[in-house]
Amino acid sequence: MILQLNRVQMLLAAMAIAIVSIFVVSTLSAGIADAKGKNVRKGPSGLAFYKPPKKTPKQHGKLIWARNAGGLVPLESARVTKNVLYTSKTPLGKRTAVSGSISIPKGKAPKGGWPVVSYAHGTTGIADKCAPSRNKVGGPAESYISYTDPQLNSWLDAGYAVARTDYQGLGTPGTHAFLIGKASGRSVLDIVRAARDLSPKISKRYLIAGHSQGGHAALFAAGMASKWTPDLKLRGTVAYAPASHMRLQAASLPILTSPSSLSALASMIVKGATVVSSDVKPNELLNDPVLALYPQTGTECLARLSQPDSLGGIAPSDLIRDGADTDPFFDLLDQQNPDVATSAPILLAQGEADTTTFKFLTDILNSELVDLGDNVDYQTYPGVDHGSILFAAENEVSAFFEQRLPTGR
């Protein structure tokens, strides 16, 4: 009797161990699939993360590696935020690596996966340390990055994954192609593809949003989405105070005779132009006092460049050398106007008190987009300046997101 009981006990114990083992293996497997997706390679620590390996996938929008984000990059409403390195292609057709971050909401993913908002950031600078995925307390671009966190967190709370590109050449090897639409637009689109490599619970359906420089990038991404990433499904684009009509603005430089941070922005635009055109020659285009400070564009962020002892101490009227051939530069600026055609609706948001992206420029852009056949909802906000537009337009943007790509929450 005792022997039979021992055998029964042993059998029950073995069954219990088997059940527990199955449960543990199943749980761990589910956890790995959810967190790591399709054989995700862990990226190295420190700045080595931003230097791509010698061999990278040939296809654009492929994840190279990822790691847990640090500093101020993780978003409070995210279950997890990962820094990522992924493939893209430059306007000149060369394969390149782009950095960024991807935040996944808390809770259970809806059927079909988490819908995505691909967010394009505003100007931080073109030095590598200005990349948003390197943001940290007291960092050189903290105030130019963290101001969007409340909106990004609200999107996560609503059930959207948030993908944030750094853009080509910002954080990674090479020069950032500042305000070159094809480069930034591809960066915005390719990170959505990379997010699907990071997690199998990321949807093909996505929205695009961007502010200032990012509004410009968002529109260019929308214009090329159907051809560049036909496997994805764009539902709509939000452009907050997008940069536009840069040739028109450049032509007005001679009348701006007081020192201004616009000189820092203009110098960065010149450097961005050299990425795609050998005909733009800073040594022949810029005045000597500007050239003396010009190298700082590659080492400092916008806040520092805007100071009186840097490019911010120079009047825009003093930027261009007398007799310089401006045609190659101005012609290239013409090509960067974000008057794109897209089948997905656009929400255009503009503050009427904005002195960085003036309302009259966005008024013209709105007319251009409409003339191209775009479905544009143009919203303007009295008394709202450049930095406050995200908060001011929050209700309209939330409604636009919900209408175009509901999450079910």
pLDDT digits (tens, 9 = 90+) for 122-171: 999 999 999 999 999 999 999 999 999 999 999 999 999 999 999 999 99
What average pLDDT is seen over the chain?
92
pLDDT average, residue stretch 394-406: 98
Is the per-residue pLDDT at 43 higher than 80? Answer: yes
* Neighbouring-strand partners of residue 78: 105
pLDDT digits (tens, 9 = 90+) for 85-106: 999 999 999 999 999 999 999 9
pLDDT average, residue stretch 22-30: 33
Is the per-residue pLDDT at 10 higher than 90? Answer: no
- Tell me if 98 sits within 8 A of 167, measured CB to CB: yes
The residue among 19 and 265 whose pLDDT is bigger is 265
Angle between helical axes of 181-198 and 213-228 (0-180°, round to 10)? 70
Residue type present at position 66: A
Considering only CA atoms, which of 336, 337, 340 is closest in space to residue 372?
340
Q: How far apart are CA 331 and CA 311, in angstroms?
A: 24
CB burial of 113-128 (b: ≥16 within 10 Å; e: otherwise) equals: bbbbbbbbbbbbbbbb
Q: How many CB atoms lie within 10 A of CB 268?
A: 24
**In the chain, where are the structural domains located?**
1-36, 46-245+337-404, 246-334
- Tell me if 141 sits within 8 A of 125, measured CB to CB: yes
How far is CA 399 from its chain centroid? 22
Q: How many CB atoms lie within 10 A of CB 62?
A: 16
pLDDT average, residue stretch 212-224: 98
Q: Could you tell me whether strands 202-211 and 233-240 are parallel, antiparallel, or unpaired per DSSP bridges?
A: parallel
Q: How far apart are CA 48 and CA 365, in angstroms?
A: 41
* Neighbouring-strand partners of residue 211: 240
Question: For residue 147, what are its two tokens?
Answer: 């101001």
pLDDT of residue 409: 85
pLDDT digits (tens, 9 = 90+) for 108-125: 999 999 999 999 999 999
Alpha-carbon torsion angle 401, 404, 407, 409, nearest 10: 60
pLDDT of residue 265: 97
- Tell me if 183 sits within 8 A of 90, measured CB to CB: yes
Is the per-residue pLDDT at 278 higher than 90? Answer: yes
pLDDT average, residue stretch 24-36: 36
- Tell me if 312 sits within 8 A of 290, measured CB to CB: no
- Tell me if 190 sits within 8 A of 231, measured CB to CB: no
pLDDT digits (tens, 9 = 90+) for 318-361: 999 999 999 999 999 999 999 999 999 999 999 999 999 999 99
Q: How far apart are CA 164 and CA 292, in angstroms?
A: 34
Is the per-residue pLDDT at 226 higher than 60? Answer: yes
The fold of the 46-245+337-404 domain, in CATH, is Rossmann fold (3.40.50)
Is the per-residue pLDDT at 276 higher than 60? Answer: yes
Model confidence band, residue 38 (pLDDT cutoffs 50, 70, 90)? low
* Neighbouring-strand partners of residue 359: none
Radius of gyration of the chain (CA): 24
SS3 242: coil
The residue among 372 and 7 whose pLDDT is bigger is 372
Full strand arrangement of the beta sheet holding 233-240: 63-68, 78-89, 95-105, 161-165, 114-120, 202-211, 233-240, 346-351, 376-381
Considering only CA atoms, which of 269, 221, 210 is closest in space to residue 245?
269
